[in-house]
Structure 1
Amino acid sequence: MYKPLLFASLFFTPFSLHALDTRQASPEQLLELGRDLAAQAGASQWQQLWQRVRQAGYLQANSASLHFSVAPALLPELARQTLARADRVQAQQQTQALYRRNFADQVIGQRDGQPLHALCLLVDWRALPQSMLHTPEAYLRGASLLSSYPCD
């Protein structure tokens, strides 16, 4: 009798209740997660990120109002640095965090012809259970690198 009730309760419990709520994590915790992810992200996570960046048009200088102007070969290292040493992180929606790093000596991209010196990288942490915030290592490969773009 209890098994069906238990199954039903698990089935109807929203996944987001168990996922890391970035709005409840401190900026320091999110920055530490970013550093961990920079060191441990797998090739497929980075490939998916660059596929999304390409699809968004951020690599095409002629067709997008917002685009990267730095050499594409430099972007992977700049994105990794953004996660590893972000200047700022901001919770987005329920499970996402936006990491930002300023590269003052380098133009990263442009918005409507205006130079931008920072890189933003959006990460979805929904694969990380809230209870594992302090020991996330086993869940880092499940984090989604959603987007990256030049920013203010």
Structure 2
Amino acid sequence: MRNAALFIMLLTPSLATHALDTRQAPPEQLLKLGSQLANHAGKSQWQQLWQRSRAAGHLQATPGLAYFTISHPLLPELARQTLTRADKVEAVNTTLALYRRAFPGRVIGMLDDQPLNSLCLIIDWRTLPQEQANEAHAYLAGASLLNSYPCK
């Protein structure tokens, strides 16, 4: 009997929801989602972001790699500002989006001898179902703040 039920489930079209495809989402929608995430991301989401950024080498001077030069306690607020009021957002992959915000007149990082005044954040929206993108509140806790680094 269980085998028959499994067989029927395999023949039935999948009812699984599909993740938000950032390549198909309008920039306005991605900007709105970023702003919502900035206001509702949990402490563990932010902690994971900084752990990943540290592991990627962006929190210490590393030749050939962009790294932050501003005081690390200032980074969370700059990251929130980047998500809330990004200058630019673009799809990086199927479910990834890159949020960028410039901080004119403020050097926040370096790449070798080049000063950098923008912050870039990569967010993974794979836990947000495509059909829920306009009502994303319940899914914000599943969004992954993947990386943060200074950029041009």
TM-score by length of 2: 0.91
Q: Secondary structure at the match of 1:141?
A: helix
Distance of aligned partners of 1:124 and 1:117 in 2 relative to their CA distance in 1, 3 Å threshold: same
Distance 1:9 1:146 in 2: 36
Is 1:90 matched up with 2:80? no
Note the aligned Cα RMSD (angstroms).
2.0
What per-residue deviation string (whole Å, max 9, x for no partner) do you get for residues 68-109 of structure 1?
011101000000100000000001110000000000021010
Distance 2:5 2:32 in 1: 39
Which moved further from structure 2: 58-67 or 93-102? Answer: 58-67
Q: Which residue of 2 aligns with 1:8?
A: 10
Instruction: Give runs of aligned pairs for residues 28-107 of structure 1, distance below 5 A.
Output: 28-61=28-61, 65-107=65-107
Hey, which bits of structure 1, 4+ residues long, moved more than 2 A?
Answer: 5-10, 62-65
Distance of aligned partners of 1:4 and 1:62 in 2 relative to their CA distance in 1, 3 Å threshold: closer
Distance of aligned partners of 1:8 and 1:44 in 2 relative to their CA distance in 1, 3 Å threshold: same
> Which amino acid letter does the alignment assign opposite residue 82 of structure 1?
T
Larger radius of gyration between Structure 1 and Structure 2: 2
Contact 1:58 1:64 in 2 (8 A): no
Q: Secondary structure at the match of 1:5?
A: helix
Contact 2:98 2:122 in 1 (8 A): yes
Distance of aligned partners of 1:88 and 1:19 in 2 relative to their CA distance in 1, 3 Å threshold: same
Q: Which residue of 1 aligns with 2:20?
A: 20
Distance 1:77 1:128 in 2: 24
Q: Which residue of 2 aligns with 1:138?
A: 138
Distance 1:141 1:69 in 2: 29
Contact 2:91 2:97 in 1 (8 A): yes
Q: State the Cα distance separating 1:57 from its structure 2 match.
A: 1.0
Q: State the Cα distance separating 1:65 from its structure 2 match.
A: 3.1
Q: Percent identity?
A: 57
Distance of aligned partners of 1:19 and 1:63 in 2 relative to their CA distance in 1, 3 Å threshold: same
Contact 2:53 2:149 in 1 (8 A): yes
> Which amino acid letter does the alignment assign opposite residue 122 of structure 1?
I
Q: Which residue of 1 aligns with 2:125?
A: 125
Distance 1:91 1:84 in 2: 17
Contact 1:110 1:116 in 2 (8 A): yes
Q: State the Cα distance separating 1:62 from its structure 2 match.
A: 5.1
Distance 2:135 2:27 in 1: 16
> Alignment length, in residue pairs?
149
Q: Secondary structure at the match of 2:135?
A: coil
TM-score by length of 1: 0.91
